[in-house]
A and B are shown apart, each in its own frame.
Chain A
């Protein structure tokens, strides 16, 4: 049974491989995003030493790592699920002998592995060559980062699954999906590190799951958080991974009762 789930990872990976040409443009665009953010922050820093606890060098690294992490964890599971729901093919998926949500997560992982190898690693190499990014030297920081990156993927995909499943309740969830994308990019700390937000907003963001996607791993990787703090970060990620299972299970069961197929 478990083997079947692994096959979903493998098949999605191979499917992505067939369209790999698209990802060459992706590398370029992600590098460009890092570049533009780098110059914007450079202009913001001007002569200043540090902003919100980030030095200029740390900010550069943070920007590069955040965008590259996004290259890995980003996927369109929300869109896939809502398409399945809207064209009715979800009905067939529900009667098959597997868990639909778990299959989606596996497919997301297959895509993630592909994006890791074809987009994140080459993009990272280019970013390091072009911009003054400071990578950590200890092996433990790298292992820690990879573990946290995996949790970033899990939490981001869980949020995508939740967003996708809302298509059961609002017939056209295009708006919900767009809103999610904006909220994740902003509140995860991809665009602005959370410490730079005004105090009230950053304290709100500290109790939301989005920080666990980009901001927390990025803080560890840039060396702002060290020692015991790293375990705290990991703890927050594990907490949100477990907590987000609850709404998914609930939505999934509520959805199976509500299913009505709009044509197809």
Chain B
């Protein structure tokens, strides 16, 4: 309850700062959508030249992409760790965070909330609805609950991976360039993983499990039975990776000594 109140206060604060730079808000929404649009254009261009990608047709791939956008928008809204090392460690803001009663990671998430990202989630839902209708997908009783559970699991996977990577900055002094590069890899989890060779499949499934934020859960709604067991595994993978993230974070915070600024 206390944490919910905090979330509310931070969002209020966010609105105040944001309303000072009104135009900027829309520029950000548009640039987010444009980023999604490039990937979308890639899919459309591919299907101008071929009928199927590893046995998946255009509507199916577009549907997977729509699903992919939903948890990604939620994740980008609530968990934004860009520039953590520069802002919190180099500039010493971590010290301020640590003196406060709420959990430090939660405070950092709140200080960086980014509601414009949620627009992407809504567009994702619309894309799913359109391509789902084109495919004649039935609307089952479990569609909405499954969507909720799988979205939350996917957000947990993202959070786990990025928290783990960000916590590396507690161990090493040099700013790590891994985070922006990871953003490149995650987009590959939305293509049918079966088109990749074994090594990349293993990587995207078990090491940085981005296949679980796109293709596997989406396959459940598409009634792709070959991936059903993987889809059902999504919450487990989410729990495991979120656990790894929190453990390595908490351990890193214990080692944190301050940059002395």
Seen from chain A, the residues whose Cβ lies within 8 Å of a Cβ on chain B are 19, 21-23, 25-26, 29, 32-33, 35-36, 39-40, 42-46, 48, 51-52, 170-172, 174-176, 178-179, 182-183, 185-186, 191-192, 196-198
> B184: shortest Cβ distance to chain A, in Å?
6
Q: By the criterion CB–CB under 8 Å, are A196 and B178 in contact?
A: no
Tell me the B residues contacting A by CB distance below 8 Å: 21, 23-24, 27-28, 30-32, 34-35, 37-38, 41-42, 45-46, 48-50, 52-54, 174-178, 181-182, 184-185, 188, 191-192, 195-197, 200, 203
Whether A25 contacts B177 by the Cβ 8 Å rule is yes
- Measured CB to CB, the nearest residue on chain B to A20 is B174
Most buried by A among B45, B195, B203: B45
Given contact pairs A21-B174, A22-B177, A26-B181, A196 touches B38 in the complex (Cβ within 8 A): no
Smallest CB–CB gap between A197 and chain B, Å? 6
Whether the Cβ atoms of A174 and B54 lie closer than 8 Å is: no
**Closest beta carbon of chain A to B31's beta carbon, Å:** 4
Contacts of B191 in A (CB 8 A): 40
Question: Within the complex, what minimum Cβ distance (angstroms) separates B29 from chain A?
Answer: 8
Contacts of B195 in A (CB 8 A): 39-40, 42-43
Q: Which one, A26, A44, A185, contacts B50 given CB within 8 A?
A: A44
Smallest CB gap from A22: residue in B: B177
Question: Among A21, A25, A179, A196, which residue has its beta carbon within 8 angstroms of that of B181?
Answer: A25
Name the CB-closest residue of B to A187.
Answer: B38
Cβ–Cβ < 8 Å partners of A191 in chain B: 38, 42
Across the interface, do A22 and B27 meet the contact criterion of CB distance under 8 Å?
no
Tell me if A25 and B196 are in contact (CB < 8 A): no
Instruction: Give 19 new A-B contacts, CB below 8 A, not counting A22-B177, A25-B176, A26-B177.
Output: A19-B175, A22-B178, A23-B177, A25-B181, A29-B181, A33-B185, A36-B185, A36-B188, A43-B195, A44-B46, A44-B49, A170-B27, A175-B24, A176-B31, A178-B35, A182-B31, A182-B37, A183-B34, A191-B42
List, in ascending order, chain A residues with CB within 8 A of B203's CB: 32
Closest Cβ neighbor of B192 among chain A residues:
A43
Q: What is the distance, in angstroms, from B174's C-beta to the closest C-beta of chain A? A: 5
Selected from B31, B45, B175, the residue in CB contact (under 8 A) with A22 is B175
- Smallest CB gap from B183: residue in A: A29
**What are the residues of chain A within 8 A of B31 when measuring CB–CB?**
175-176, 178-179, 182
- Could you say which of B23, B30, B37, B52 contacts A170, with CB atoms under 8 Å apart? B23
Q: Which 6 A-B pairs have the closest CB atoms?
A: A175-B27, A43-B195, A29-B181, A179-B31, A22-B177, A178-B31
Look across to chain B and name the residue whose beta carbon is closest to the beta carbon of A198: B48
Closest residue of B by beta carbon distance from A191: B42
Q: List chain B residues, Cβ under 8 A from A36.
A: 185, 188, 196, 200
Residues of B within 8 A of A176 (CB): 27, 31
Instruction: Pull 10 A–B residue pairs with CB atoms less than 8 Å apart, ordered by A.
Output: A29-B185, A36-B200, A40-B53, A45-B50, A46-B50, A174-B24, A175-B24, A182-B38, A191-B38, A192-B42
Cβ contacts under 8 Å, A44 to chain B: 46, 49-50, 53
Min CB gap A184→B, angstroms? 10
Distance between Cα atoms of A26 and B182 in the complex (Å): 10
A170 adjacent to B50 (CB under 8 Å)? no
Give Cα A207–Cα B200 distance, bound, in whole angstroms: 37
**CB closest chain-A residue, reference B187:** A36
B13 to chain A, nearest CB (A): 16
Could you tell me the distance between the alpha carbons of A35 and B198 in the complex, rounded to whole angstroms?
12
Q: Are A35 and B49 within 8 A (Cβ)?
A: no
Query: Given the complex of chains A and B, what is the CA–CA distance between A36 and B182 in angstroms?
Result: 13
Task: Find out whether the CB atom of A197 lies under 8 angstroms from the CB atom of B45.
Answer: yes
A196 in complex: contacting residue of B27, B45, B52, B184, CB < 8 Å: B45
A172-B54 contact given A23-B177, A32-B185, CB 8 Å threshold: no
Q: Which residue of B lies closest to A30 (CB)?
A: B181
Closest to B182 in A: A29
Asked if residues B50 and A171 are in contact (CB atoms below 8 Å), the reply is no
